[in-house]
Amino acid sequence: MAFNDFSPEEKKEQLISHLKSEGYLKTQKVIEAFRRIRRENFLPKELEASAYSDHPLPIGYGQTISAPHMVAIMTELLEPKKTDKILEIGAGSGYQAAILSPLVRKIYTIEFYLELASLAKRNLSRTRIRNVEVIPGDGSKGYLQKAPYDKIIVTCSIPMETFNLLAKQLKEEGIIVAPVGPAYGIQTLTTGRKVKGSLKKKEYFPCVFVPLRT
Ligand code: SAH
């Protein structure tokens, strides 16, 4: 049987099994979030059939929805907790925020392109997600109005100065996850944890994200 003979639900289960066997999905509650949220609801109609292939896909304005394995890795690194208040830079389609929504208390997600902010809002309200607030604007300096945050996730590439700046909006023991490196080129998926006021950084592996707009 070809992949396209399977129903979306079957394809979703196959993708989840793949992400588990590769070690990208580790935690039961994160696996449940991947089961609950349908990626096809965050894609343009013509790409719905590709929703459960493990690839980034275009969402307009030169931007992309990250590949499921990247969403899995970043979500796991964030160690989401039911009490968390999260800041995301780069709402895009709203999919990453949707995956986080059942795992945390509240998500503020900033999106540079007005049209994509509207798209994310539409996608999230269509899927009846109510704990995500989409904020149109430039997130390169974070979002002081609701700081400090338990966790910060950045889904566009940022330089180390921006990483350090954003981390100032973290609570003690807070975690930031971001692709850090050149705007056009290869970045390193990097985390920082605030311990006694200073940031303990850890570098993971090379990755390529769309650049931060300013
Ligand atoms: N999390 C998204 C991935 C979107 S790709 C999803 O799940 O679909 C990264 C997004 O970051 C793009 O939508 C891009 O427009 C946005 N972005 C780039 N620079 C930004 C900035 N300065 N502030 C906020 N968003 C930004």
DSSP readout, 88-100? EE--TTSHHHHHH
Q: How far apart are CA 84 and CA 103, in angstroms?
A: 8
pLDDT in tens, 89-113: 999 999 999 999 999 999 999 999 9
Instruction: State the Cα–Cα distance between residues 65 and 173, nearest whole angstrom.
Output: 29
From the CB of residue 182, how many other CB atoms can be counted at a distance below 10 Å?
A: 10
The two structure tokens encoding residue 26: 């580790």
Ligand 1 pocket, residue 123 CB under 6 Å: no
What is the pLDDT at residue 94?
98
Site to probe by mutation for ligand 1, drawn from 38, 69, 89, 135 as the one with most ligand atoms within 8 Å of Cβ, is 89
Q: Is the Cβ atom of 112 under 6 angstroms away from ligand 1?
A: yes
pTM of the shown model: 0.97
Cα end-to-end span (Å), the chain: 47
Residues of the chain with pLDDT below 50 are: none
pLDDT value at residue 5: 81
Closest CA to 84 of 60, 67, 100: 100
Q: What is the pLDDT of residue 3?
A: 66
pLDDT of residue 58: 97
Contacts of residue 168, defined as CB under 8 A and 6 or more positions apart, other chains included, come to 142
In angstroms, the CA 21 to CA 183 distance is 32
Q: Tell me which residues are annotated as active site.
A: 66
Q: Which residue has the tokens 């949707």?
A: 98
